[in-house]
Amino acid sequence: MCAELSLDDHAHTAYDTTVASGGFRLTRQRREVYEALLETRDHPSAVQVFMRAQKRMPTISLATVYNCLETLTQVGLVRQVNFDRGPSRFCPNAHPHGHFMCTRCHHVHDVDVPDAAALSRVWQLPNNYVVTQSEFSLRGLCPECVVAANDAE
C-alpha cells in the first residue's frame, strides 16, 4: 500500500545525533512526537499526531506538538506535506519522494521516484533560476476506493 522504506533505525540515529548535536534539545515531547510519526506511517495531521502522543504522554499540548513538528522539520527528519487547503500532513520519510492523496478517503501514500534526475529534466526554466527544492503530488483513487466507487454505482 505504502512504499516501505525501513529507515526506522536510520531515522532514530539521525534523531539522536542531529537533534542532540545541532543545538536542539532532545526533550521527551520531541521524542514522543517523532515516535508517533514513525509508529504509523499514514501521514497524520498535527491533530492526529497530538492524539497519538497524548496516549503516551497525557500532559502534552497541541501547541507543543506543532512546535515539535516544526523543529523536526527544520532538522530535516520530517517533511510537511500539503494538499490544497487541508491540514498539513507529516511524513518521517527523509528520502526524496512524492505523494499521492486519495480524493475519496483522503489517505496519503508515499510515491517512489526511482529516477530523481529524470524529474528535473521534465520541466524547463531559464538557467539563471536557482532551484533548491522540488516536489510533486498526485491525486486520484486508491485501489480500495476504486472498488468502493464502482460498487456505489
Partner DNA sequence: CTAGGTGCAAAAGGTTTGCGGTTAA
Partner DNA sequence: TTAACCGCAAACCTTTTGCACCTAG
Distance, CA of 23 to CA of 42 (rounded, Å): 29
Q: Is residue 28 a contact point for DNA (CB under 7 A)? A: yes
Give the total of residues touching DNA (CB under 7 A). Answer: 28
- Asked if 58 touches a second copy (CB under 8 A), the answer is no
Burial 35-52 (b: 16+ CB within 10 A, else e): bbbbeebebbebebbbeb
Strand, helix or coil at 91? Answer: strand
One symbol per residue from 88 to 107: x for binding a second copy (CB under 8 A), - otherwise; what is it? Answer: x---------x-x--x----
In whole angstroms, how close is the CB of 106 to a second copy at the nearest point? Answer: 14
Residue whose CB is less far from a second copy, 2 or 75: 2
- Count CB atoms within 10 A of the CB of residue 125: 9
Nearest to 104 by CA among 47, 65, 148: 148
Instruction: Select from 55-63, 109-117, 120-128, 139-147 the region that touches DNA (CB under 7 A).
Output: 55-63
Report the C-alpha gap between 46 and 69 in whole angstroms: 8
Q: Which of 8, 40, 55, 87 binds DNA (CB under 7 A)?
A: 87
Taking CB under 7 A as the criterion, the residue among 14, 66, 106, 141 binding DNA is 66
In angstroms, give the least distance from the CB of 147 to DNA.
Answer: 27
